[in-house]
Amino acid sequence: MAVIENAKVTVVGAGAVGSATAYALMIRGAAREVVLYDIDDARATAEALDLAHGAMFTGASEVVGTSDVGRAAGSHVIVVTAGAAQRPGQTRLELVETNARIMASLIPSLVEASPRAIVIIVTNPCDVLATLAVEQTGADPARMFASGCVLDTSRLRLALARRAGVDPRSVHAHIVGEHGDSEFPLWSSARIGPIPVTEWDDSFTPDELDAIATEVRTAAYSVIEGKGATNYAIGLSSTRIVEAVLATSGRSCPSRRDSRAPSVSTESPSRCRRSSGPRARCRSTGSASRRPSTSCSRARRRRSPRRPRRCGRGCRGDSFVRACP
């Protein structure tokens, strides 16, 4: 899968999660254009303007706020965060009735505006809403899926890393199942570096692992109780999924798709694009070839000063000798 350049990403919902997702997309340079869509035009415009004021420090990303769903046209990825927020003590599944009605009126218009986009459902309960959206629109389940347990996996790795005293990036463990109270960790494959978690030291007892699983499963409740919403980490995890879809990273994400979807990968490692440069022609034959991309290691090695020489077709050394086929 080729890297999508100049990608356009639409974030639906300018609330805490949507704004954090747009911010993460901007600072990570995941998209060339970010559209922040919300039915509250003033809120969407203000959030986008606030983000755009920092463009000098982040790169070339353009951020636009709008209440016009037509601005989503041409999006490569749509991230849906709109919906009722989870209140303290409320489970994700208790939001399903309210947010299902919102999805029923929202998803068809988004698909109509940008029929080729990959749609990522972040609104809770994301797994249920993704299934309902697929049934409602008839979309390919491989192109409309939930954010799943990407955030929960990050929480698990942080909990293990803190107890082991290592960097979270050195922990390899996953949460699977529903993004909610029925999720669970895959302890049999959990590693710290190359070492199984249960063999790291004596502190990782069965009781301790159960405590970690409970801590991860209820982490959102603790955050919501203290500040009213979770937003920063879900914004970052949503951006990681977007990067995987756009193939700007070589990472896999434990996101959730409908069980009827074919077994497909949503990402592949970025490749050296040797044939992406401008065309040049051999002076003797007129045949065209491509100059290698300057991002390629081969191109960097070949940027040494030119010296007169002949190619196999008789061209004299000049500015076109590197482009001879």
pLDDT value, residue 157: 98
CA distance 75 to 61: 14
**Across the chain, how many H-helices and E-strands are there?**
10, 13
Catalytic residue selected from 53, 172, 174, 179: 179
- Tally Cβ neighbours within 10 Å of residue 39: 14
| pTM for the full predicted model | 0.75
Strands 175-176 and 184-185: antiparallel
Sequence-ordered list of residues with C-beta below 8 angstroms from that of 120, at least 6 positions apart, any chain = 77, 78, 79, 80, 145, 146, 147, 238, 241, 242, 245, 255
Structure tokens at 188: 């049999």
Q: What is the pLDDT of residue 297?
A: 47
- What is the chain's pLDDT, residue by residue, as a tens digit (325 residues)? 556 778 999 999 999 999 999 999 999 999 999 999 999 999 999 999 999 999 899 877 899 999 999 999 999 999 999 988 777 777 777 888 888 888 888 999 999 999 999 999 999 999 999 999 999 889 899 999 999 999 999 999 999 999 999 999 999 999 999 898 889 999 999 999 999 999 999 999 999 999 999 999 999 999 999 999 999 999 999 999 999 999 755 566 666 555 444 333 333 333 333 333 334 444 444 444 444 444 444 444 444 444 444 444 444 444 333 444 3
Domains identified in the chain and CATH numbers = 8-147+229-245 (3.40.50.720), 150-222 (3.90.110.10), 274-325 (no CATH)
Instruction: Give the C-alpha separation, 325 to 306, whole Å.
Output: 17
Torsion angle (degrees, nearest 10) of CA 142, 143, 147, 153: 40
Neighbours of 13 (CB within 10 A): 26
The DSSP code sequence of 225-238 is HHHS---HHHHHHH
| Residue whose structure tokens are 């004299």 | 316
CA distance 222 to 220: 5
Q: What pLDDT shows up at residue 249?
A: 55
179 flagged as catalytic: yes
Rounded CA separation 325/258 (Å): 48
In this structure, what is the dihedral angle of CA atoms 35, 78, 183, 247, given to the nearest 10 degrees? Answer: -100
What pairs with residue 78 in β-bridges? 10, 119
Q: What is the pLDDT of residue 151?
A: 96
Closest by Cα among 60, 11, 53 to 32? 60
Tell whether omega for the bond before 168 is within 30 degrees of 0, i.e. cis.
Answer: no
Identify the pLDDT of residue 247: 79
Q: What pLDDT is attached to residue 310? A: 47
User: Could you write out the DSSP letters of every residue in 241-258?
Assistant: HHHHHTTSS------B--
Give the containing element (helix H, strand E) for 184. strand 184-185
Phi, psi of 250 (to 5 degrees): -105, 30
Q: What is the secondary structure of 36-104 as a DSSP string?
A: EE-S-HHHHHHHHHHHHTTHHHH-S-EEEEES-GGGGTT-SEEEE--SPPPPTT--SGGGHHHHHHHHH
